[in-house]
Structure 1
């Protein structure tokens, strides 16, 4: 759920500053299938079809409830931590593989070349983990 609407969070935050009914749409494929075989494709026709779909299925709509600010901050930090770990692993895995196949000298050269980047990523990961801990401890009080 946390990553599901990550790219829409700025839109949500601006829309939810005032009382607003916000409903997240289903997958575009569901709208397309609900229309059957429909010809014609342009923005005006697509907008009309989306509105018609929303009108027909309004009884199935579920209102979006914004996450608590702390929960949203946790989700954002966890996402950033995950991306940093992936970046660190993309540097470390080739070095480890080279050592396993007996290319120790090449692995050492590569490790020296990436050393500052790996250390910086590890520091950032620790800083994010400290932020996560601070949010959790602050929420428990």
Structure 2
């Protein structure tokens, strides 16, 4: 293994651990976002009506469940286990879809979370813990 490969792998490992931190943080924030939507529907202003519209209570519960799952997988990602990495990619992809559908309610937040989920997928898919 060349020095360039190990340096690149070290950088990727650092970004992947950062991805785990991002997942935990995003999961916690999505949980609280869901609580806000369930507790008080007036917190969010609905813009353009879309075909896939749910009421805010339903979206709140979706974000609560998704937030718990994202945070749990983020914590598991710290172990570097193969199942945790695969789960992180799948959960981040589901989070992208959920936040795309959430755009009418909170557009800037949704776009930010989609971008962070893309970073998580990239980081986790390029990380090879056995090579480190």
Fold match by TM threshold 0.5: no
Structure number with the bigger relative contact order (C-alpha 8 A, sep ≥ 6) is 2
TM-score by length of 1: 0.33
- Greater fraction of residues in helix: 2
